[in-house]
Amino acid sequence: MISVIICSVNKQLANQVQQNIADTIGVEWEPIIIDNTINATGITSVYNQGASIANYGMLCFVHEDVLFTTQNWGKVLIDTFKNDSELGLIGLAGSKYKSRLPSGWFSGLDILDCCNITHLDKHEVRQIMHYNPDDNKLLQEVVVLDGVLLVCPKKVWQDIKFDDKLLKGFHLYDIDFSFRVAEKYKVAVSYAINLIHLTQGGSFGNEWLNDTLLWHQKMSRKLPAITHDCIVSNKKIDKIIVKKWLIRLKHEPINTVNQFKWLFAVKIWVQISAWTNVPFFMLKKYIK
């Protein structure tokens, strides 16, 4: 039995995913669809509100712009938690490493990143994002998750909860929640559930950057974090992450002040291998 909690801003998408869940979940469930177009608030508050009124012992926080393609995925989730008493949270994308550098969940390294999501772009072209450091495993332990799908027992949420005091928007809620859950429980990416995400990628603009800087500053003493099954060099990984995120963020509408804030936060002066990417990061928005 699963309570499915959705922060909705699009009634059509909410109705569509609700029907899709009814057709595929395979277990008793309840929809908790919270319309966030009226008295809009941050997703951390919405998720805490939804979880607080949930009737069932398993909570599924999911975006409304998705379609599940696996039949009986609810039973798969319940069985997965039953088979591992240490498991506290499941998602479909995450990483075995979280750098102290201000960045999103992905590192850009195949040995660290885990993902099982199909993106559908505006031209209805499918991009299958299947990253698994070990294809023999249907469950990969990670330290942070992406928020397209987050599933946990209600008792885990009651222990951790989403941080609606620090994070008041729509960014970093997933990294923060999964990171704090991983301090007490096992967090994992599942490859047994397939899902189509109808919106490709998120926004990494000024709001994302401000929340990212804020969260990394708060967690600086706990970072970097890595799963017990990984043996890697933090310095080498961080060099790759800086370059990856310089390339990723150059396409985003980040103002110049925030660009300098991010460069200062990653200590770009010591990231020699990334220097050639800095001009593109700073000037891309001016190049037509």
- On whether the CB atoms of residues 188 and 178 are closer than 8 A, the answer is no
The whole-number average pLDDT for the span 185-196 is 97
Q: What's the pLDDT tens digit per position in 94-139?
A: 999 999 999 999 999 999 999 999 988 766 677 888 989 888 889 9
- pLDDT tens, residue by residue, 140-164: 999 999 999 999 999 999 999 999 9
- 123 Cβ contact list (under 8 Å, min separation 6): none
Question: Residue 255 — very low, low, confident or very high, per pLDDT cuts 50/70/90?
Answer: very high
Residue-range domains of the chain with CATH: 2-232 (3.90.550.10)
Among 211, 227, 130, CA closest to 175: 211
Whole-number Cα distances in Å, 35 to 2, 46, 202: 20, 9, 20
Structure tokens at 211: 């929340």
CA distances (Å), 146 to each of 115, 159, 176, 288, in order? 9, 20, 10, 32
**Angle, in degrees to the nearest 10, between helices 173-182 and 43-52:** 60
Asked whether the beta carbons of 68 and 25 are under 8 A apart, the reply is: yes
Q: Which of 82, 94, 91 is nearest to 60 (CA)?
A: 91
Give the three-class secondary structure for 36.
Answer: coil
Q: Is 129 exposed, middle or buried (0-12, 13-18, 19+ CB in 10 A)?
A: middle
> Across the chain, what does the average pLDDT equal?
93
Structure tokens at 203: 């926004």
